[in-house]
């Protein structure tokens, strides 16, 4: 029988529940237990696919094509597992399912209510996930205690403990303990109020994890234990750290792993942190340094590109290099084209995915500058498409464009996929999930992946127009990765450049700490060899593909 950990949050959003949930999973994995994770999002959207990244952060894509919350990506990276889309539960999904069943007559004339019908649907989804041959299921309930949207999920969690038994369910509450700079005092009152609200709903936390700048002092810890009705040994600190990958180690050192094992009556295995510590050391103590410009349209919020950021740092760690990131709004290059010269001060440039015309011409200017000045460049999805547009224009196709951006152009080198031409809706209509890609022998892509066939995740509805492939290829551009019987172009590279590389897929979604994504690894390696010409690729760490199955 599986055990369950419910992770809730209080005081404010964005305090790191996802990292805490993933850390709990890693603590249990280090002891040999099989773990999986679930993210509950209380919003009414069916999934994260149609939400602006500024509103909800990055949209993370799973192997089976789910457009999910970015915390699913955090779980995958921490736990090194691929999670299906069923592990991201939303209010839209829950209510749609219950209403569909009501329309079929499944409730036999009953009045359909939040309790028990909605709560039963929530519990059933979690129980179905627990059948996946796992020892522990970690369930993060999104939002903050007190939000009206979260109430059915907290009620389901309350019932879950009754249904499964107290020894099989642990409630973990993550709160903020602010510290006033003037007096240096850690204030526990927000935590007390948050727990009071949680208990009013009927959920008593077993564990409290306090987010704080520094470790909890003895007196605040005692106050939290006393006023929140929690054992002092079950009050932990999640302090500010240099790398999120420090989190499971710090929590385990405080005794969280021991507490969970005892509470769940699991075998007391000795944790093995050797591989994790080696990976962490490569992130915390690199010897080299590289600066990468991320030229996008969501530069104000790092969460918009969290998987990209982590993939770059994973690649840097594998190459004993600290990667410094700077976000650049490409609107600036449109207002003043001369400003694109700022890219000459970077060791590499990345143009990430995105949608819409805003900043797109600025991205094209950035790609052109990298190509003509031989600056290492990596394009992802939309960056791949704009790389094709940029090169087409360099061949003399002056109005080359994407039909997404300029419907009036007579040369749509990027166009809707044929199966999308009759689709009017924008939600839930993209090519999603993992698809097999075949890589040409002797290409840069093959030297990165060490394979001729790989699986990578996609999220797009536009692609290279096949009518232009011959013209683009004859001009020097090489499409070294293709899919669907060579119908779709997946990877482009420019052999005459040191590293001018782009992918239609989102390689960052399969990056892992200790095993980085091959395209990101290639960018950082090229950035290092460009910055230090005396370094050869043979001196750098060998890398095996994460993209293959």
In a domain, 207, yes or no: no
Beta pairing, strands 235-239 & 207-212: parallel
The answer to whether residues 269 and 359 belong to one domain is no
Q: Which of 260, 277, 294 is the last residue of a domain?
A: 277
What DSSP string runs through 304-328?
GGHHHHHHHHHHHHHTTEEEEEEEE
**Is 508 a known active-site residue?**
yes
Residues sharing a CB contact under 8 Å with residue 11, sequence separation 6 or more, in sequence order = 144, 175, 176, 190, 191, 193, 194
The answer to whether residues 270 and 292 belong to one domain is no
Range of the domain at 326: 286-539
Q: Which of 277, 294, 319 is the last residue of a domain?
A: 277
The answer to whether residues 386 and 496 belong to one domain is yes
**Is 534 a known active-site residue?**
no
In a domain, 81, yes or no: yes
The answer to whether residues 271 and 408 belong to one domain is no
374: three-class secondary structure by DSSP:
coil
Q: What number of CA atoms fall less than 13 Å from residue 228's CA on the CB side?
A: 36
The answer to whether residues 420 and 305 belong to one domain is yes
What DSSP string runs through 67-98?
EE-HHHHHHHHHHT-PPPGGGEEEHHHHHHHH
Six token digits for residue 382? 């939309």
In a domain, 94, yes or no: yes
The answer to whether residues 35 and 128 belong to one domain is yes
Structurally, how many domains does the chain consist of? 2
Longest dimension (CA), the chain: 77
- Asked whether 96 and 44 are in contact (CB, 8 A), the reply is no
The answer to whether residues 388 and 427 belong to one domain is yes
The answer to whether residues 268 and 314 belong to one domain is no
Per-residue pLDDT tens, the chain, 549 aa: give them. Answer: 899 999 999 988 889 999 999 999 999 999 999 999 999 999 999 999 888 876 778 999 999 999 999 999 999 999 999 999 999 999 999 999 999 999 999 998 899 999 999 999 999 999 999 999 999 999 999 999 999 999 999 999 999 999 999 999 999 999 999 998 777 889 999 999 999 999 999 999 999 999 999 999 999 999 999 999 999 999 999 999 999 999 999 999 999 999 999 999 999 999 999 999 999 999 999 999 999 999 987 655 567 889 999 999 999 999 999 999 999 999 889 999 999 999 999 999 999 998 888 889 999 999 999 999 999 999 999 999 999 999 999 999 989 999 999 999 999 999 999 865 554 455 557 999 999 999 999 999 999 999 999 999 999 999 999 999 999 999 889 999 999 999 999 999 999 999 999 999 999 999 999 999 999 999 999 999 987 776 655 555 545 445 445
Q: How remote is the C-alpha of 315 from its chain's centroid?
A: 16
**Is 381 a known active-site residue?**
yes
Q: Kindly name the residue from 121, 155, 334, 508 that is annotated as catalytic.
A: 508
User: Which CATH number characterizes residue 301's domain?
Assistant: 3.40.50.880
User: Which CATH number characterizes residue 79's domain?
Assistant: 3.40.50.300
Q: Is the pTM of this model over 0.85?
A: yes
Q: How remote is the C-alpha of 348 from its chain's centroid?
A: 22
Q: Kindly name the residue from 381, 463, 490, 493 that is annotated as catalytic.
A: 381
In a domain, 366, yes or no: yes
The answer to whether residues 348 and 249 belong to one domain is no
């Amino acid at each position: 029988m599986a055990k369950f950990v419910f992770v809730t949050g209080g005081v404010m959003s964005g305090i790191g529940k996802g990292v805490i949930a993933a850390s709990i999973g890693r603590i249990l994995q280090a002891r040999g237990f099989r773990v999986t994770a679930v993210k509950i999002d209380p919003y009414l959207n069916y999934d994260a696919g149609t939400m602006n990244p500024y509103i909800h952060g990055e949209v993370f894509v799973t192997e089976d094509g789910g457009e999910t919350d970015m915390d699913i990506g955090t779980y995958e990276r921490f736990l090194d597992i691929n999670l299906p889309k069923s592990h991201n539960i939303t209010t839209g999904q829950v209510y749609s399912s219950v209403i569909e069943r009501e329309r079929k007559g499944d409730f036999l004339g009953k009045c359909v209510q939040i309790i028990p019908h909605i709560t039963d649907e929530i519990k059933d989804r979690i129980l179905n996930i627990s059948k996946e041959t796992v020892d522990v299921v970690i369930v993060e309930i999104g939002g903050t205690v007190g939000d009206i949207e979260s109430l059915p999920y907290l009620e389901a969690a309350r019932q879950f403990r009754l249904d499964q038994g107290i020894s099989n369910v642990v409630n973990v509450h993550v709160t903020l303990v602010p510290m006033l700079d003037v007096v240096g005092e850690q204030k526990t009152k927000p935590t007390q109020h948050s727990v009071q609200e949680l208990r009013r709903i009927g959920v008593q936390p077993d564990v409290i994890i306090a987010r704080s700048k520094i470790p909890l002092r003895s007196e605040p810890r005692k106050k939290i234990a006393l006023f929140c009705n929690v054992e002092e040994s079950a009050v932990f600190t999640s302090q500010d750290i240099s790398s999120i990958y420090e989190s499971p180690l710090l929590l385990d050192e405080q005794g969280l792993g021991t507490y969970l094992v005892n509470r769940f009556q699991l075998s007391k295995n000795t944790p093995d942190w050797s591989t994790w510590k080696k990976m962490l050391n490569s992130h915390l103590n690199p010897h080299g340094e590289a600066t990468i410009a991320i030229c996008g349209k969501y530069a104000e919020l790092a969460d918009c590109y969290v998987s990209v950021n982590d993939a770059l740092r994973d690649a840097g760690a594998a190459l004993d290099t600290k990667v410094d990131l700077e976000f650049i709004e490409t609107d600036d290059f449109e207002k003043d084209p001369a400003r694109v010269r700022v890219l000459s001060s970077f060791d590499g440039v990345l143009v990430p995915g995105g949608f819409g015309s805003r900043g797109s011409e600025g991205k094209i200017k950035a790609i052109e500058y990298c190509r003509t000045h031989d600056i290492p460049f990596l394009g992802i999805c939309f960056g791949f498409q704009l790389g094709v547009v940029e090169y087409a224009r360099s061949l003399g196709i002056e109005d080359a464009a994407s039909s997404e951006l300029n419907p009036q152009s007579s040369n749509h080198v990027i166009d809707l996929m044929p199966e999308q031409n009759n689709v009017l809706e924008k939600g839930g209509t993209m090519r999603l999930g993992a698809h097999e890609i075949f890589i040409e022998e002797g290409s840069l892509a093959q030297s990165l992946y060490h394979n001729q066939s790989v699986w990578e995740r996609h999220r797009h509805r536009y692609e290279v127009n096949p009518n232009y492939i011959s013209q683009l290829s004859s001009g020097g551009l090489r499409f070294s990765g293709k899919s669907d019987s060579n119908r779709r172009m997946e990877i482009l590279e420019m052999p005459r450049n040191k590293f001018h590389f782009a992918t239609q897929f989102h390689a960052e979604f399969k990056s892992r700490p200790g095993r980085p994504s091959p395209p990101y690894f290639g960018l950082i390696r090229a950035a290092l060899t460009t910055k230090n010409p005396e370094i050869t690729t043979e001196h750098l760490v060998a890398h095996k593909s994460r993209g293959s199955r």
